[in-house]
Structure 1
Amino acid sequence: MNPSPPLITADRVALQLAGRQLLRDISVELIQREIVTLIGPNGAGKTTLLRLLLGLTKPTSGTVWRQPGLRIGYMPQRLHIDNSMPMSVQRFLQMGQPGIKTTQAQAALDRVGAGQLLQASLANLSGGEMQRVLLARAASRKPQLLVLDEPTQGVDVGGQSELYQLIATLRDELGCGVLLVSHDLHLVMAATDRVLCLNQHICCHGHPEQVSKDPAYLALFGDTVAPYTHQHNHQHKLSGDIAGECNHSGTKSNGKNREQQ
């Protein structure tokens, strides 16, 4: 039993907009030191549920309780940067957090393996570099809850596996809870404690291996998703190059299911 009170509790939450039912009858509890992954197909309401939990949208019915003074580190699904606006990574990390010193910004980047990017131009970052900078910014708030909306956007498969391992390491270092949004269960299986499968309501939930065999999950994603393993006897460089050998096994999913997601 977790001795600390929940970070966020949602009780029978529903949301209806313009006569359309977006979410219904959702109850969720987020606690410290647990990684919860929210999965579901496009249009399932994943980002909408995030907004409800964070207090950015009010539910039509049900209640959402957040621990008073809860510190949240948020990593958006994507960030659009105006290439004409000169901004360094350091400046970006300090925006909204004027108390952060250069040494603290450097430490935040070092923590996610992107220490060399402090003076780099934000507009010139690769997809993988941008995701690490966004993660560094979210973690620099020393959050009690780290909320990550599709954190592996624009990152190749090997880099995704490494990023999920990094998220688990941050959870251990910060002692925070993690709410992770994804559409791909097989890649996050080794880096999550509990899975919520969403399709306007929670279809199934539990340990990743349990959910992957649940009839509700199989109805959404099919039964062709095989376990995926990624042996790290190498390193993924931020440039995208690989140092050492790389062994992948298993299949991700059939083409039909991937396109539908």
Structure 2
Amino acid sequence: MTDRRNQPLVSLDQASVMFDGNPVVDHVSLTVNRGDIVTIIGPNGAGKTTLIKAVLGIQPLTHGTIRKAPSIQIGYVPQHLQLQPTLPLSVRRFMALTGAPETDTRAALDRTGIGHLFRKSVHHLSGGEMQRLLLARALVRKPDLLVLDEPAQGVDINGQAVLYDLIRAVRDELQCGVIMISHDLHLVMAATDRVICLNQHVCCSGYPADISHDPAFVETFGRPVAESLAVYHHHHTHRHDLHGDIIEGQPETPHCEHDHHHAPS
């Protein structure tokens, strides 16, 4: 496969969104290239979801511009999906709503690790299974840009790390760009390439190791992440289930691919 990374997928230039004369997103400029994982963090009310809606084309800009690559395919994973509890809906029927052939929907479910749930009711899925179902739906059309709003919502901490690993693996396979919203600073710092700290405007942005010591970051979130958690990377050959438990192989402590976070003793 030809390496298509570093191709611009979406660019915002001085993008602003105002509600009732008040800026919710204020002169934000950013570019997401193919191959990037960009995570947007910020306090409640910072404008993160509004910014994502602007990228998706749901929320028009009040000022500024947004440019997207021609014929871009965008896959979206919402933070919540409200389903009528009395509506009988299996995973199979839920995926059929994408309009994609069943072979494609099955492949997407297999890729996210829940192919065995094909005939299960969506109302009986765990938090982690539901997030993987929403990710599978977004992957059906092999998106150029994957947009995720709090993808680890309702998933336990071990499952969150596994889910972030899956997102990175999908990025590598599809050579797509990824925009994530997250409030879990510790896990996301190891799961992303670039962090944007948003509080209506861009407070600071950059590589995770650098941004956590930026004065604007510390002012918003407190002491640097590196001081509150020790983050290290290690490669391993085993796989995990939806809860983060090892299901095959043996861990290899000296090498690494996957991020673990440990509180200092």
> TM-score w.r.t. structure 1 length?
0.87
Shift of the 249–152 alpha-carbon distance from structure 1 to 2, 3 Å rule, reads closer
Preserved CA contact (<8 Å) 1:158 1:236: no
Task: Give 1:241 shift.
Answer: 7.8
Shift of the 233–69 alpha-carbon distance from structure 1 to 2, 3 Å rule, reads closer
- C-alpha distance in 2, partners of 1:227/1:23? 33
Q: How does 1:1-261 map to 2 (within 5 A)?
A: 5-95=7-97, 97-101=98-102, 103-223=103-223, 225-228=228-231, 236-238=240-242, 240=243, 242-243=245-246, 249-251=261-263
Preserved CA contact (<8 Å) 1:73 1:145: yes
Aligned-partner SS, 1:218: helix
> 1:210-229, CA deviations, whole angstroms, 9 ceiling, x for partnerless residues?
11111101001100632345
Shift of the 130–3 alpha-carbon distance from structure 1 to 2, 3 Å rule, reads closer
- C-alpha distance in 1, partners of 2:137/2:231? 29
Q: Which amino acid aligns with 1:242?
A: D
Task: Give 1:209 shift.
Answer: 0.8
Identity %: 49
Shift of the 16–155 alpha-carbon distance from structure 1 to 2, 3 Å rule, reads same
Unmatched tracts of structure 2, length 5 or more: 254-259
Preserved CA contact (<8 Å) 1:185 1:208: no
- C-alpha distance in 2, partners of 1:241/1:210? 28
Shift of the 64–88 alpha-carbon distance from structure 1 to 2, 3 Å rule, reads same
- C-alpha distance in 1, partners of 2:207/2:65? 25
Preserved CA contact (<8 Å) 1:34 1:193: yes
Task: Give 1:175 shift.
Answer: 0.9
For 2:257, the equivalent position in structure 1 comes to: none
Task: Give 1:243 shift.
Answer: 4.6
> 1:94-122, CA deviations, whole angstroms, 9 ceiling, x for partnerless residues?
20x32322x32221111111121111101
- C-alpha distance in 2, partners of 1:234/1:206? 31
Root-mean-square deviation (Å): 2.4
For 1:256, the equivalent position in structure 2 comes to: none
- C-alpha distance in 2, partners of 1:249/1:130? 24
Task: Give 1:237 shift.
Answer: 3.4
- C-alpha distance in 2, partners of 1:130/1:198? 28
Shift of the 53–99 alpha-carbon distance from structure 1 to 2, 3 Å rule, reads closer
Unmatched tracts of structure 1, length 5 or more: 253-261
